[in-house]
Amino acid sequence: MSEAIHITTAIFYCNAPPHVGSAYEALAADVFARHQRRKRGKDKVTFLTGTDEHGDKLKRAALAHGMEPKAFSDRMSAVFRDAWRKLNVSFDFFVRTTDPWHEQFVQQMLKRTYERGDIYFADYQGLYCVGCERFYTEKELVDGNLCPEHNRPVEFISEGNYFLRLEKYREQVREHVARVPDFIRPERYRNEALAMLAEPVGDLCISRPKARLDWGIELPFDPNYVTYVWYDAFWAYFSEPCRTEPDFASRMLPYTTHFIGKDILKTHVVYWPAILLAAGLPLPGHINVHGYLIFGGARMSKSSGNIADPVSYETTYGPDVLRYFVMREFVFGLDGEFSEERLIERYNADLANDLGNFTSRVLAMVSRYFGGVVPAEMEPKPLDTHAEWERALMDRVNGLPTRVDDLVTNLAFKQALETIWEALDTANKYVAATQPFVLVKDPDKRGQAARILFNSLEALRIIASELEPFMPVTSKKLLDLLNVDVESASLPPGEGIKPGHRVKPPVALFPRIGQTKA
């Protein structure tokens, strides 16, 4: 495996503002990217996101707002960029498909594929969904004329167009999916992909005549056509990195991992691999597929209008709360019910009670009993009655980085947070069982109290470090309270905080909130 890795979200279609469902994808990819930076080093990880700005659907949205497509996409792309920054999505590249360099790059790929003989012209008539920006066969439709994604009637279109030889590569792609078990994750979507590739798929229409749609990237071999919006958007995964590193795509594709929603599984496992092969490029390393967030009984989506503004949760509940909730509440790959009431329950129970109270309690005792300094008077061994509790804490904490690494690497974000919280729960029980606040009053047992608080501080340090990909703002606050720098944060247990180390007084990290905010 290459030391380097390239991580992408889907390129978000900006006909409307982002919602919690699209933020979920960006946050999942961000957790993965932050974890990979910790594991491989920052210079080995690139993380890309961006906005998809061409096509019929965006043009119609712009006209509905009384704007030209470019001015409308300028506004909406800025909304996405601003939202991801406010949610602390740590992208390295934010690509816009209207960027001049991206348009040139797409034209290079079109010309390259055309010259290889895998694009041809033919007359075509078919059933077209504006929302999906694609043609459907009758068997793919609901009741013969409804788009399966948008539940709206399709349009019959007859015109000449350019086609990519999709069917030519179907069997090669199918064999790759079958041979590489983790190419598509989770497993359920790999099985869906194999079913899609089991039968002929036909060739892919990759153009639109300017007479019908002029908002797109012009074909380099026919000025009367623009390219299909999906063909355009796929190349955004590599256009900007290739600006400074021309071989980036060919070098990094095998080490690329895409995060996408299940609604675009077909485009990524049938279209995208064939587009790459037709351009003479290798296939990506992984396609990671998440489910839908359900809000009020229906899928969150811009087309349905069932949306919730992700930034509003950041404003209302504070940094990291939305991130924590969607990563802790939902199994990656499955649909999940999003509820603000449930978010508040998680906030109060997990963040205010478990994490906030433990942090405040330990720091307050160090401040009150030892002047904020880790004492040198620690007993070398625990009391016999405390030994089992200390061993349980050390077992949880010592193995935490390895367990979390394995879980995040395999997209088990919910389980990774559960594992961190098991360590936190053990730390809370350790303090409650050993009662350093009682021991410190006995001069002969003051060293035992010091030992317990030292172990608790070290546990908090390691928990704070492992939380960084999931809760970057909170992790930074915790480490600041512990007066620990980034380098010391990830040291093995017993090596990060030493006797004589000064910590800061506690602050209220997560004040409890009432249900009225829902």
- On whether the CB atoms of residues 210 and 314 are closer than 8 A, the answer is no
The counts of H helices and E strands in the chain are: 22, 17
Phi, psi of 194 (to 5 degrees): -60, -35
pLDDT of residue 426: 98
- 425 pLDDT more than 80: yes
Task: Kindly state the helix (H) or strand (E) to which residue 111 belongs, with its residue range.
Answer: helix 100-115
Q: What are the tens digits of pLDDT across the range 455-473? A: 999 999 999 999 999 999 9
How far apart are alpha carbons 483 and 262 in whole angstroms?
43
Q: How much is the average pLDDT of 439-453? A: 95
Rounded mean pLDDT, 154-171: 92
The H-assigned helical ranges of 180-260 are 187-197, 229-234, 239-244, 248-252
The CB-side HSE value for 495 (13 A sphere, CA atoms) comes to 8
Which band of pLDDT confidence, cut at 50, 70 and 90, is reported for residue 135? confident
518 pLDDT more than 60 = no
The predicted pLDDT at position 492 comes to 85
Domains of the chain: 5-323 (3.40.50.620), 341-517 (1.10.730.10)
Which residue shows structure tokens 């949880």?
A: 396
Q: What is the pTM of this model?
A: 0.92
CA geometry: angle at 36 spanning 425 and 193, to 5°? 100
Residue 79 has pLDDT above 60, yes or no: yes
User: Residue 389 has what pLDDT?
Assistant: 96
pLDDT, residue 383, reads: 93
More confident residue, 294 or 404: 404
User: Are β-strands 184-185 and 134-136 bridged in parallel, bridged antiparallel, or unpaired?
Assistant: unpaired
d(CA 244, CA 246): 6
- CA 340/CA 324 separation, integer angstroms: 13
Looking at 3-7, 148-152, 389-393, 446-450, which range is the least confident one? Answer: 148-152
- Please give the pLDDT value at position 297: 62
Q: Which residues pair with 495 in a beta bridge?
A: none
Judged against a pLDDT cut of 70, whether residue 303 lies above it is answered with no
Rounded distance, CA 314 to CA 278, Å? Answer: 43
Contact 303, 57 (CB under 8 A): no
Task: Return the pLDDT at 299.
Answer: 62
pLDDT at 1 over 60: no
Mean of the pLDDT values across residues 371-399? Answer: 93
* HEC assignment per residue over 379-425: CCCCCHHHHHHHHHHHHHHHCHHHHHHHHHHCCCHHHHHHHHHHHHH
Least confident of 38-47, 130-139, 169-178: 130-139
In a 10 Å sphere around its CB, with 0-12 CB exposed, 13-18 middle and 19+ buried, how is residue 443 labelled? exposed
Report which secondary-structure segment, H or E, holds 225. strand 222-227
Q: What is the average pLDDT value for the chain, to the nearest integer?
A: 93
Q: Which two tokens stand for residue 369?
A: 């009993």
Give the pLDDT mean for 220-229: 96
Would you state the pLDDT for residue 140? 82
At 100, the pLDDT band (50, 70, 90 cuts) reads very high
- In which band, very low, low, confident or very high, does the pLDDT at 6 lie, cut at 50, 70 and 90? very high
Instruction: State whether residue 185 is helix, strand or coil.
Output: strand
Q: Does 398 have pLDDT greater than 50? A: yes
Q: Which residue has the higher pLDDT, 31 or 494?
A: 31
Per-residue pLDDT at 2 exceeds 70: no
Mean pLDDT along residues 96-121: 98
**Cis before 499 (ω within 30):** no
% residues pLDDT > 90 (the chain): 83
